[in-house]
A and B are shown apart, each in its own frame.
Chain A
Amino acid sequence: MCGIAGLIYADANGGREVGTDITRMLQSMKHRGPDSTGYALFGPRTSSYVMRFTLADANDPRDYEFADRIQRHRFLVEQRLRRFGAHIHEIDEETEYAYRVTFDYDGDLKQLADLVEDVPGAEVLSLGHALEIIKDLGDAESVATQYDLDGFRGTHGIGHVRMATESDVDISGAHPYWAYPFSDVAVVHNGQLTNYFQWKRRLERSGHRFNSECDSEIIAVYLAEKMSDGASLEDAMRDSLTELDGVFTYIAVTEDALGVAKDEMAAKPLVLYEGDDMVALASEEIAIRAVLDREIDTYDPFEGEVMVWQR
């Protein structure tokens, strides 16, 4: 089933409590997907890069040398970043297997991300100037506590609660998906894509990497590739209505915009609130009420609609 949510503030100079707000939205939709929860949050933009990566999955068996192996691999990642010319500011251990690292770098992002992922067990969850993707097993409150998202301030964000249908319950299969290797683009998706394999192969032929068996993984790369060819987010999303097959409502975010697209059958729900201070959207109104505890005017966008809000 899955539940998706998105939030973009009209006035967010200095950032607002996007971590807390998205957690509230996702927790109220826990019944739509208890398997895993994920966030794509945009903090304040900096000139350096911020990268989130994991070195093991949450349900990997903990054998006796698990901790040693993780430490070894962590040093490998650091070593490779340095060797590639990245100047590391900070590396934080978020959980025993998930890390956040900030660094200065002016080379090719794909080469860098590939080199990190070449370390055994490593997966780059997000890479950009402002985008941070946090995802793990469990409901929103447990993930938010685990990764300390309550203090996360930012300008906009999206989130996803997952009920796994077509791939495993693990971090690789959890949303949101980063548009590897395009910086600051992410997507959450509710639905199924029926021409997923065609697109996966098409994008793989142009050199993109996919790490999971989850159909939603292609959407972000599909959009980001179009945008890198000069299309706007809105145009890329409009193309997706005919080029992606299946049922979907997805929310895409870039550094300065948040957009939603609904397939031509209107098979997956979305409720939209457009206020003066924020635009909030979610699979169910109850999620929007979790951040706006008063009577509000909401509506469901129609089939085949694409809407984009710029910051």
Chain B
Amino acid sequence: MAAVGEGRITYDARGLAEPAAEAPRIAEIDGDRATFDAHDLSTRLINLELRRLLYEEGIGDVTVQNPGAKHSIGVGILTRCRITFEGSLGYFGCGLIDGPEIKITGRVGWSACENMMSGVVTVAGNAGSLTGAALRGGDLVVHGRVGARTGIDQKGGTIIVGGDAGMMTGFMMQRGRMILCGDVGHGLGDSMYDGTIYVAGKVASLGIDCVPGEWTEADTEFVERKFRIHGLGSPPELQKFVCGKKLYNYDNLEPSERKLVL
């Protein structure tokens, strides 16, 4: 029962897991849809099967049953498709993706959707710390609560959290937007460079150089649009937080460098 599938993993001399693994070809394919049960598969076999279905078979809608909170599932998917995980993912779930629309019916562990480039990820349950780390684009919607440092180093896209968020949310945020519907821990938006954080609940404390921002029509339009797209009902009353721009001074940089940094 324990760590089903993981017990049989072999490593090569360099320590690479299952170097000779091949996609198990167990999915039931029905037209443009496919379903497979990941219960007895290791991380590598799940990802190989997923890739086979998406890239080789060209299937646009894949359902993965019983992912069992295994780590690094659904990573690096670079095509437009629909994936449903019926269950929970472990650490690093759906990282480095570009394009897919992913639904997770359970929860995710640390560092979900890190470095996501585009697409939509919806998590029905809770998420661990570092959710959406270095997010570049796309929408990440977590219906439950998230741990600490959500959206650390966020460089674009939108993170929407239905529940409470931990400390240092939006730490070193560089761009993008975050809508937090619950309470937020200490150090919100600490050392942020740019971007916008909307909060509905209580803020335990603001981080360094994070200040309340002025609400505009564009904010109302943006929040309402995102809530409408993701079927979240009418948005709660939100406060807006932005960077105070006192902490850094890009004007000391060469214009070409400035472009690179931002």
Contact = CB atoms under 8 A, between A and B. Distances in A.
Interface of A: 23-25, 27-28, 264-266, 269, 271, 284-286, 288-291, 293, 295-300, 302-303
Contacts of B110: 269
Interface string B86-98: 0110110000000
A299 B144 contact: yes
User: What is the predominant secondary structure among interface residues of chain B facing chain A?
Assistant: loop
Contact of B129 (A25, A266, A295): A266
Contacts of A296: 88
Given A271-B109, A289-B69, A284 B185 contact: no
Given A290-B1, A293-B1, A295-B106, A302 B166 contact: yes
B68 interface: yes
A284 B147 contact: no
Given A271-B109, A284-B71, 11 more contacts: A24-B3, A27-B7, A28-B2, A284-B69, A284-B91, A285-B107, A286-B68, A290-B1, A298-B88, A299-B126, A302-B148
B69 A303 contact: no
Interface residues of B, number: 33
Interface of B: 1-4, 6-7, 68-71, 87-88, 90-91, 106-107, 109-110, 125-126, 128-129, 144-145, 147-149, 164, 166-168, 185-186
A22 B87 CA distance: 23
B71 A24 contact: no
Contacts of A285: 69, 88, 90, 107, 109
Nearest to A305: B166
Lowest 3 CB-CB distances: which A-B pairs, in order? A24-B2, A266-B148, A28-B3
A97 B148 CA distance: 44
Residue from the set B126, B129, B164 with the largest chain A CB neighbour count within 10 Å: B129
A176 B3 CA distance: 23
A81 B194 CA distance: 68
A265 B147 contact: no
Nearest to A140: B2
Residue from the set A25, A266, A285, A299 with the largest chain B CB neighbour count within 10 Å: A285
Contacts of A289: 68-69
A286 B3 contact: yes
A303 B148 contact: yes
Contact of B145 (A265, A299, A303): A299
Nearest to B66: A295
A9 B200 CA distance: 38
Nearest to B145: A299
A188 B68 CA distance: 25
Contacts of B186: 303
B146 to A, nearest CB: 8
Contact of A297 (B125, B128, B147, B148): B125
Contact of A266 (B68, B91, B145, B166): B166
Contacts of A28: 2-3, 6
A302 B129 CA distance: 9
A23 B2 CA distance: 9
A289 B71 CA distance: 12
